[in-house]
A and B are shown apart, each in its own frame.
Chain A
């Protein structure tokens, strides 16, 4: 029995085979990137690359899948180690800053790019490169009580104001909801080539009384 037994029952063997060999590069290993990487690995994606230059800080622990003992280590490396330990998935970790100069080298060989960077400069570099290289790219972002999952062709890089700061309001439930939507959009893309775009707020959670 595969560790993806339940997922396979839900998705079908054909889709599972597709996602296993589908190379995805995740730009950013923070609240969105790290949780997306974990979700994708646990859903059966077998070829993952993570790019993030940052190190783990104490305030990351509420929204990101790291441990207290990881504080001070590179996010990308710890994420790759933890995916390997948990699932045997050999993800590639690049603890580097992605710039327009090295985007081609870092994104080489990937079928899909997921952009979760926390600053507009890096997001712009990803957008520009993917546009030029005609590489499918999904941007996943958060702002206040709002999340979005937008494909490159519709995506607009936000203003650089308030970029790359760590002091902002962020609800874990909004993070996990956005991550779930993004991962579902990716699997739909791999299976059907359909590109869905979504905006998300916590109010989109429809909780209805059972009666």
Chain B
């Protein structure tokens, strides 16, 4: 049976040596850095405390390790080589150098890591939205390794183009598009403010067109006026009207003709009939 005192003494001696050791580790802002001695993991707060990146650390005491140098690429590569790689596609920045990413191949991800979901990848110092990368798993976090040189560079271009044209994820079409590409596109589209605004505008336009069409009218243009839209539309025989319509329920805020203060009794759909009746 092993002598427990002897083992504890060994660990204690190794702990003492830890102060004199330098170690290489990745660090996210506000996170801790880790090193392992005698199969025991030691956590340190980085100094400076807001450090983010790859560093060579030297323990100052049992709680703090100071950044003393920046590792070069071969040193980082040696560290990363010990971790399991996976191909992912970048979505958007979550915080600092941490990005949300999604596996390029769901089936591969499930088989090797038991997951196929969006993950946070830390210390992304290269790449952009929709670009394919290789990240590595240390059992707790994904760390950026490099941009995937095997990836087709046209795919991110096509996805960006689709985003610019406000194509919905369901309508995304190009040669070679995969379900994983649709998923990442959906993730980015949900997040992109410009896209969201444009999507909202498209939805609003559809809603107005539909309401007017049911009454026999046709939308010409509409403008956003905070709580209402200024809708320019024509009746079936081409007569032009401008009406203020509530965004909430399409009730009439101001019809453009005198409705004796009863404007709010009507909505856009019924207003078409009112206008046509008024003319008769």
Contacts and interface: CB of A to CB of B under 8 A. Distances in A.
Contacts of B40: none
A84 B147 contact: no
A80 B77 CA distance: 13
A65 to B, nearest CB: 14
A99 interface: no
A81 interface: yes
- The bracket for how many chain B residues form the interface is under 10
B73 A81 contact: yes
Interface in B47-93: 72-74, 77
Interface string B122-150: 00001100000000000000000011000
Q: Is the interface of B mostly helix, strand, loop or mixed?
A: mixed
A84 B126 contact: no
A100 interface: no
Contacts of A80: 72-73
Interface of B: 72-74, 77, 126-127, 146-147
Contacts of A85: 73, 146
A63 interface: no
Contacts of B147: 69
Contacts of A69: 126-127, 147
Nearest to B146: A85
A197 interface: no
14 contacts: A69-B126, A69-B127, A69-B147, A80-B72, A80-B73, A81-B73, A84-B73, A84-B74, A84-B77, A85-B73, A85-B146, A90-B72, A90-B74, A93-B72
Interface of A: 69, 80-81, 84-85, 90, 93
Nearest to B74: A90
A157 B91 CA distance: 52
Contacts of A84: 73-74, 77
Contacts of A81: 73
Nearest to B149: A85
Given A69-B147, A90-B72, 5 more contacts: A69-B126, A80-B72, A80-B73, A84-B77, A85-B146
Contacts of A90: 72, 74
A205 B146 CA distance: 40
A67 B134 CA distance: 18
A81 B75 CA distance: 11
Nearest to B131: A69
A80 B71 CA distance: 13
Nearest to A92: B72
Contacts of B73: 80-81, 84-85
Contacts of B126: 69
A91 to B, nearest CB: 10
Nearest to B127: A69
Contacts of B72: 80, 90, 93
B126 to A, nearest CB: 7
B129 to A, nearest CB: 13
A41 to B, nearest CB: 14
